[in-house]
Structure 1
Amino acid sequence: MEYVIRPVRAGEWRAARELRLVALRDPAAPLAYLETYEDAVAQPEEFWRGRAERAAHGTTVLQFVAEAGEGGRWDGSVVVLVEEAGALDFFGEAVERRQAQLVAVFVRPEARGSGVADALFSAAVEWAFGLDGVTRVRLYVHEDNRRAEGFYRKFGFVRTGGAVPHPGDPSKVEREMELKRL
């Protein structure tokens, strides 16, 4: 299948909501997301509209989607957060330099192994490294999410040695991985 990899548009909140709810039903969701299906499905329309609007602007956050053909179903997504030096990151840690962080990674089970994840990551990383001052892209992966870590390694991400407690289970950790611009 041919996919169109592109940024989400502000008015596409319904498709963004649908894909997010599918992601939160995935068996790996408790390892991969800090949000539950029950919490997400209870959010009002305004929440989803605002989320899509913010993810479409491309200044501090940009969401890429894998659309099955022009106007088709979304089969995957990744969100890029731009973190400024001196600010706090997604986990509340101080950011030392301008960087990008990939979050909310998801590919529908039936599209896995098709190259969708590679295409999404390529678009996200290319966009991030095109931003002024960004020399690394990072992400966090739950210590038990071996499938995801395997993909990240294959793409070129390496562990930094950094880790933070998983917010849902402080006895587990989220390992930091990064990809540096050559």
Structure 2
Amino acid sequence: MEEPNEYLNQFIQHLKETIAFNESEEELIVSCLEIKYLKKKESVLEPGEVSNHMRYIAKGSMRVYHLDENTQEQTLQLGVENWWVNDLYSYLSERPSRMFIQAIESAVLVQISKSKLEILFVKVPQLSNFFRLKMQKAYVVLQERTMENLSLDSFEKYEKFRKDHRNLEQRFPQYIIASYLGMTPEFLSYLRKKHSS
């Protein structure tokens, strides 16, 4: 197993791309972090649980999905290294989640509880700016995705996915990519063949 400090350092560098803080603030942030190791297919959140952590992916790949009324998996979010993964609705509303957050590959998360983050917002105010920017970006992405689902046909959605996320197609099984794009694996396979010919 890798050294936990490697992941803590990675997380701190990730923060420093957006905000600046001094050594004592860094120590305070690190003291509030938890590292969570997940096996392939293990979940960090399931329906009925309240999401009480912000989660940064230090290693591996994750997805957020729910089961529809026909128990079909609907993938809402994908994530790889240096991305964040969460059920923000549950986190912000403190209501039980309807989502699964699952490791697709074995994964390492750096997470911070909501209660500790609230304390840090007071002691390291620039951290609240970091998360404000993250929340804004998440909202914009959600809005874009909603509009794409309404306005683009299947092939256009697949093309845009390939263009925007070149490295994701190799990291996730076809059925998960298909679920994320709102199509069947068979139809995605047809689009891929059409694309390559």
The structure with the greater share of residues assigned to strand is 1
The structure with the greater share of residues assigned to helix is 2
Give the TM-score normalised by the residue count of structure 2.
0.29
Give the TM-score normalised by the residue count of structure 1.
0.31
**Which one has a bigger Cα radius of gyration?**
2
